Amino acid sequence: MTPTEGWHCLHVYYRFDRRVLASLGSDRLTRGRSRFLEVLDPAGDEAPARLQTGIVAGHKADFGIMMMDPDPLKIDAVLQRLAASELGLALTPSYSFVSLSEISEYVPTIEQYAARLVTEGDVSGSPVHQAKVKAYEQRLPIMNRQRLTPEFPEWPTMCFYPMNKKRKVGENWFLLPFSERNKMMAEHARSGMQFMGKVSQLITVGVGVEDWEWGVTLWARNPEFLTEIVYRMRFDEASARFAEFGPFYTWFTASATAILDHCRIAPL
């Protein structure tokens, strides 16, 4: 069940059922709150390699969890422990997305990057060209590690959405030559790089395991950066012509304690 490279990933969102909560009684609520905090502790003994939680904006959910681990059952065990807890009957799942981390086929190799620089005006073998290639060679392992086994930034806001590439007559992404797709994705990547230091992105693949082909997770230092990056990238041809988007879930990163307090679940 362990991927040859990368990790399993799960986004899951819940609502609290207030009618069930009202029927639990103070003792059970107290025990349920304690168990909730234990299960959603990123540093807990049974926690997956990555676990982050947040308060969800709007009516789609009350809170969300994002998890990654080499073992998918370790991720699922978090959901089962929540379901089996004193608060379990009061937790209603509202959405989930199963995926795996990957290195996209559009991430250029060192040789492809060197060739691209030449097409963009660099002189092959010049000191400037060599310096750029060497810098990319040093960055590439770090970037690939972040794609496969990412650290979750503790930035205040995050949004997640699933997406497909179109398979329609005249707009079938998968019938295009690789060179054409690669060119459009390079443009898309350049747009995203303008937000370095403001937005951190993770693309996970849902092909074969989900209803949508990819999941996009964006962490931002400010919610306005989420609007700015998505709006900017919508004008890229890869998005404007070929992308289809599912529901957007936006959260404000918060600990399990902050979630319970914000949602007015009785404190200890």
User: So which residues are the catalytic ones?
Assistant: 161
Give yes or no for a contact between 218 and 156, defined as CB atoms under 8 angstroms apart.
no
- Dihedral of alpha carbons 231, 140, 75, 53, sign: negative
Q: Helix/strand/coil (H, E, C) string of 227-253?
A: HHHHHHHHCCHHHHCCEEECCCEEEEE
DSSP state of 123: P
**Distance, CA of 7 to CA of 1 (rounded, Å):** 10
Q: Give SS3 for 114.
A: helix
DSSP assignment of 28-85: HHHHHHHHHHHHT-TTSTT--SEEEEEEEPSSS-SEEEEEEES-HHHHHHHHHHHHHS
